[in-house]
Structure 1
Amino acid sequence: MGEDEKSPTPAESWAIIDAQRRQVRESLSSDDRMLYGIWGLAWGIGYVAMFFTVGPEGEPHLLGGSIFGGLIVAALVFTVVHSERRASGLGGAGGRMNARLGTAWGASFGASFFIYGGMFSAGLEGEGVGVVANGLPCLVVACLFMASGAAWNDTRQYRLGVWIAVVVAIASVTGVPYLYLVMAGLGGGGFLVAALADYLDRRRA
């Protein structure tokens, strides 16, 4: 056997195996940099729009609500698509679990929109509408991130869900209109910090 054909050392073999494992893991998982980044931008831009368009009695304005809603729908679609992408590469219980988590996002937000419709049909208005309209979908996001983190043993995603729940509590006590700035800074900022942390982890890997 020539020098160019010699077998790799044990250390080189382990390095090759580890590189292949990382490649497979990344191909089967959603890109958390994109996932967190999309949500961070949606919350940051959307909540700032809500703050600057809030009504005189603290009620959400149609313009700000439309901007925020459009950004959230875009982030939601991105999340579901990436969840389905992960599920398509997995078989058995893991694939079913992730597919169900993806469905949970759509079902939960769909139910939230019906709750909004019921609120407005009942004639609710004023600052309380802003607090509830903000808290409900954000708690959905918090719970689903915690559930996904627990299901996939993803500590960062689980902690991010806990952080979102804490931010929602702080924002709700703060009240309209400044709760929107709390959500933009602490909520959107939390997502962007998570995106940066995932980026740095991938650089070190």
Structure 2
Amino acid sequence: MEPSEDDISPAEALALIERERANLVRDIRPDPRLMYWPWGFAWLICFSLFFLRYGPGGRIYVDLPEWLPLVAMLVLFVVAGLVTGVAGSKPMRRTSGPGAWSGRAYALSWSLAFASLSVLFSRIGGHLPEQQTGLLWAGGMVALTGALHMAGSAIWQDRELFALGAWTSVINVAGIIAGPGWHSLIVAILGGGGMILAGALGWRQLR
């Protein structure tokens, strides 16, 4: 027989509520590994290729084909976008109301913001030296990523996401100051590694 309300102490009731809340979060929150690891490994691999092919001062550490880093970036970013899109859409289908709208609006913001920057950089990139053009694209896109992460933290009340966005912004500034080549290395290790770590810590916390 199910216990009545009178049989449950206040402490047990609070514990029950907390357990149910935790179960709900696990049901509607996407797996942090699927949200962060695809992008973390994409950044780690593609920016490492850029560093090896277009190092500081134009140095070539590994004589890769010139097209390889860019093609690898496009392929890895498309794959990462598909994985995170599918992983993020499943929990959203289980929710409705303001939360669902916030998720869709936030996802659309990423697409529109990156499209806007791409158009802008395409217009002005041709007036800069090759290495400076690469720094413009990489630095601008990483800056936008950090800003959107911090904006997302305000929507979802997620302090870890804010920390990731702030970290991404700080290392991006450090890389831009260091200059072309070094920016790729810093973003590859500290940016990609940061997202991989965030996915692991988020998964551990969700468990």
CA RMSD in angstroms, aligned pairs only: 2.6
CA distance in 2, matches of 1:39, 1:156: 16
CA distance in 2, matches of 1:161, 1:190: 10
Assess, with a 3 A threshold, how the Cα gap between structure 1 residues 135 and 181 changes in structure 2: closer, same or farther.
same
Match status 1:104 vs 2:109:
yes
Uncovered stretches (5+) of structure 2, i.e. residues with no partner: none
Match status 1:67 vs 2:72:
yes
8 Å CA contact 1:43, 1:188 repeated in 2: yes
Aligned to 1:30, the other structure's residue is in SS state coil
Match status 1:153 vs 2:157:
yes
8 Å CA contact 2:45, 2:188 repeated in 1: yes
Q: Percent identity?
A: 25
8 Å CA contact 1:36, 1:192 repeated in 2: yes
CA distance in 2, matches of 1:33, 1:79: 9
CA distance in 2, matches of 1:187, 1:105: 18
Cα offset, 1:196, TM superposition: 2.1
CA distance in 1, matches of 2:189, 2:58: 23
Cα offset, 1:85, TM superposition: 3.2
Assess, with a 3 A threshold, how the Cα gap between structure 1 residues 169 and 142 changes in structure 2: closer, same or farther.
same
8 Å CA contact 1:58, 1:126 repeated in 2: no
CA distance in 1, matches of 2:138, 2:201: 27
8 Å CA contact 2:34, 2:83 repeated in 1: no
Number of residues of Structure 1 aligned to a counterpart in Structure 2: 198
What TM-score comes out, normalization by structure 2 length?
0.83
What TM-score comes out, normalization by structure 1 length?
0.83
